[in-house]
């Protein structure tokens, strides 16, 4: 058999200005609506803001993590997602700006430890005050963003150089930034998850918490990238170059992250459940009553069981239209996971009372901006690293 398939030119960017503009308009409208919420109830407003922010920054940071993982491990799956993931990384500066309201104002409404009166009387919070204080929270946030944006910029800049010059030494830059950046990311994300999420329950602690967030980020970003790539593959150059084998590999990785997410989440639960210690178990008791138990079971069923079973099938992983739906489901369920993790700690024992219209408005508001930025970034470079030394082998001749 002969393979004289026409290989489309991968070096030209794809124009995504129109969808980007739509996303921006949707985001702007939702933001205006969401801002009304501040007048209704500022506390609920910041809670919704925090969850939406977390959801979208998880996507940005998941992209960063995936790019670093693939630079360290190699493998052809990385070649297909690298540029798309880099477009996600480049939303980080915008996310840093969006964090400012939380750091300056939201912190006082969200965290009980930020109240000096509580910090003075509650002995546990008093003990933690050297870490849990407003100035520390703000300084650490600056450090986190500097690290993330720094590592992301170095990687993106290396890719620019590769696209422009085809310099083979870029590979070394990638590996070095990914090795050092990966370690810094792992630690900084752990503490960011502690600062922004875990400290909502100032008495509670779990060493697994950061890892759950990190794996959730990888899962969410993988699903979002897969979703994007499948949509983009309706047109050239990805119509030809996003091959079924590559999609199959990405589907397997999404399955792997789904299993990992379930593994770390379940392990934390099993350990806390079995020991039943008074300083730990309230976290799960709260999530097992007042309507939250339905969300808990729903998460197990929809966030683990359904994608797990569906992704076991080879056919699903190799059919674009089916995998598109699975990826979309995983993306949506990431928000449910964030909501399950954060909302019970902020809004109390009844789930029905904990749902607000602002949550949806906030996700769409920040999401519109995020997607607009993401698509704009994506239009500014080639969709594939066409000058990577391994590009030909991995993409053009894949599967032959």
Partner 1 sequence: MTAHGHKPVGPPIHGMAARFEDASALTAAARAARLEGYARMDAYSPFPIHEMDEALGIRRSILPFLVLAAGIAGCVGGFGMQWWMSVVDYPLNIAGKPLVSWPQWVPVAFETTVLLSALTAAFGMFALNGFPMPYHPMFNVKGFDRVTTDAFFLCIEADDPQFDVTQTAKFLQGLGALEVSEVVH
Partner 2 sequence: MSLSPEQVAEQRAIGNDRENAPVMAPGYTMESVTETIAGIPLSKNIRMGWAVGFLIAFGGMNLLLLSIVWLLYRGVGIWGINSPVGWGFAIINFVWWVGIGHAGTLISAILLLLRQQWRMSINRFAEAMTIFAVSCAGLFPLLHTGRPWMAYYLFPYPSTSGMWPQFRSPLVWDVFAVSTYATVSIVFWYVGLVPDLGTMRDRAKNKLVKFLTGMLALGWRGSARHWHRYEMASLLLAGLATPLVVSVHTVVSYDFAVGLIPGWHVTLFPPYFVAGAIFSGFAMVITLAIPIRWYFGLEGLVTLRHMENMAKVLLATGMCVAYGYSMEVFFGWYSASRYEEYLVFNNRMLGPYGWSYWMLILCNVISVQVLWFRWVRTNMFALFILSIIINVGMWLERFVIVITSLHADYLPSSWGMYYPTFWDIAMFIGTIGFFLTSMFLFVRAVPMISIFELRTLLPQARVKEVEK
Would you tell me which residues interact with partner 2 (CB under 8 A)? 1-3, 72-76, 123-124, 127-128, 131, 179, 183, 186-187, 190, 194, 203, 205-211, 252, 259, 263-264, 267-268, 270-272, 274-275, 277, 279
Residue 59 binds: one of partner 1, partner 2, none (C-beta under 5 to 8 A by kind): none
Within 10 A of 8 (CB to CB), how many other CB atoms are there? 14
Rounded Cα gap, residues 189 and 187, in angstroms: 6
Closest CA to 318 of 250, 384, 255: 250
Q: With binding defined as CB under 8 A, does residue 17 bind partner 1? A: no
Q: In this complex, which beta carbon is closest to partner 2, that of residue 11 or of residue 267?
A: 267
Residues between 251 and 270 that touch partner 1 (CB under 8 A): 266, 269-270
> Least distance to partner 1 from the beta carbon of 265, Å?
11
- 276 lines the binding site for partner 1 (CB under 8 A): yes
Q: What residue has token string 């508001």?
A: 365
Give the whole-angstrom CA distance, residue 128 versus residue 346: 19
Which of partner 2, partner 1, none does residue 314 bind (CB under 5 to 8 Å by kind)? partner 1
First to last CA, the chain: 11
Instruction: Pick the closer one to partner 2 by CB: 75 or 348.
Output: 75
Q: 203 with 156: CB under 8 angstroms? A: no
- Compute the least distance from the CB of residue 312 to partner 1, in Å: 7
What would you measure as the largest C-alpha separation in the chain, in angstroms? Answer: 79
Per CB under 8 A, 274 contacts partner 1 = yes
Distance from the Cα of residue 194 to its chain's centroid:
16
Q: How many CB atoms lie within 10 A of CB 47?
A: 25
Q: Which is nearer to partner 1, 126 or 289 (CB)?
A: 289
Residues within window 281-340 making contact with partner 1, judged by CB under 8 A: 312, 314
- 233 secondary structure, DSSP code: T
Question: Nearer to partner 2 by C-beta: 96 or 253?
Answer: 253
The count of residues in the chain is: 400
Binding site for partner 1 (CB under 8 A): 266, 269-270, 273-274, 276, 312, 314
């Amino acid at each position: 058999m002969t393979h004289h398939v026409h290989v489309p030119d991968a070096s030209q960017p794809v124009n995504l200005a129109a969808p980007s503009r739509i996303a921006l308009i949707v985001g702007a409208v939702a933001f205006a609506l969401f801002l009304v919420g501040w007048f209704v109830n500022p506390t609920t407003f910041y809670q919704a803001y925090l969850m939406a922010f977390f959801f979208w920054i998880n996507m940005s940071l998941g992209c960063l993590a995936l790019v670093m993982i693939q630079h360290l491990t190699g493998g052809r799956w990385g070649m297909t997602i690298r540029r798309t993931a880099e477009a996600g990384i480049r939303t980080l500066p915008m996310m840093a700006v969006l964090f400012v309201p939380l750091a300056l104002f939201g912190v006082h409404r969200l965290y009980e430890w930020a109240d000096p009166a509580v910090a003075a009387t509650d002995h546990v919070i008093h003990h933690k005050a050297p870490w849990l204080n407003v100035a520390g929270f703000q300084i650490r946030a600056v450090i986190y963003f500097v690290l993330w944006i720094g590592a992301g910029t170095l990687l993106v800049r290396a890719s620019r150089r590769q696209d422009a010059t085809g310099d083979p030494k870029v590979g070394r830059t990638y590996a070095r930034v990914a090795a050092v950046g990966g370690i810094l990311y792992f630690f900084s994300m752990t503490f960011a998850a502690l600062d922004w999420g875990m400290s909502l329950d100032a008495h509670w602690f779990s060493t697994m918490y950061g890892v759950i967030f990190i794996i959730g980020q990888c899962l969410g970003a993988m699903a979002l990238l897969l979703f994007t790539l499948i949509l983009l593959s309706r047109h050239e150059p990805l119509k030809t170059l996003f091959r079924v084998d590559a999609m199959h590999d990405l589907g397997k990785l999404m399955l792997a992250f789904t299993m990992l997410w379930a593994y770390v989440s379940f392990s934390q639960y099993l350990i806390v459940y079995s020991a039943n210690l008074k300083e730990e178990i309230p976290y799960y008791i709260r999530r097992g009553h007042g309507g939250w138990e339905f969300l808990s079971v729903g998460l197990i069923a929809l966030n683990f069981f359904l994608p797990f079973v569906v992704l076991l099938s080879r056919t699903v992983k190799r059919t674009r239209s089916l995998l598109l739906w699975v990826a979309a489901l995983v993306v949506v369920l990431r928000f449910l996971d964030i909501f399950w993790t954060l909302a019970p700690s902020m809004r109390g024992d009844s789930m029905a009372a904990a749902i607000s219209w602002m949550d949806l408005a906030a996700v769409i508001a920040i999401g519109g901006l995020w997607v607009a930025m993401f698509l704009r970034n994506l239009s500014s470079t080639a969709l594939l690293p066409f000058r990577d030394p391994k590009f030909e082998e991995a993409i053009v001749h894949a599967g032959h």
